[in-house]
Amino acid sequence: MQTPSGSIVAAAQAAPETTDAQGRRLVLRRLSALDKLRLYKAAGPALTQNGAWMGVAALAASVAAIDGVPVPAPSSEAQVEALVARLGEAGLDAVSAALGHRQASAAEVAAAAGN
């Protein structure tokens, strides 16, 4: 039987990693149900209904460390936006690819914005 701290260490060692176009090493975490619930709380009721915003926020919240520096899970809209700004397109694209998410095309984004 594994101790709680042993479980945390094992999970961290098994975390997927990727490198973005800027050469930053990103350690990722799969969002648990509780992580998602906390992200919804951080977003608030209006942004929770915005699928595009939540998609980008979920990608950003999936980053556990950048170049070996731990990244805490965002707990407010401002923290989500700061993390998205820090990651930029290069970081978000790398996270999306590493987690196997399909990028929406510009036409899909435009169509969703019109609805």
pLDDT in tens, the chain (115 residues): 677 666 555 655 567 999 999 999 999 999 999 999 999 999 999 999 999 999 999 999 999 999 999 999 999 999 999 999 999 999 999 999 998 865 554 555 556 666 5
Model's pTM, two decimal places? 0.75
Residue 29's pLDDT is 94
At 34, give phi and psi (nearest 5°): -65, -40
The pLDDT score that the predictor gives to residue 62 is 96
* CB of 84 closer than 8 Å to CB of 98: no
Question: Edge to edge, what strands does the sheet with 25-28 contain?
Answer: 17-19, 25-28, 63-66, 69-70
Predicted confidence at residue 55, as pLDDT, reads: 94
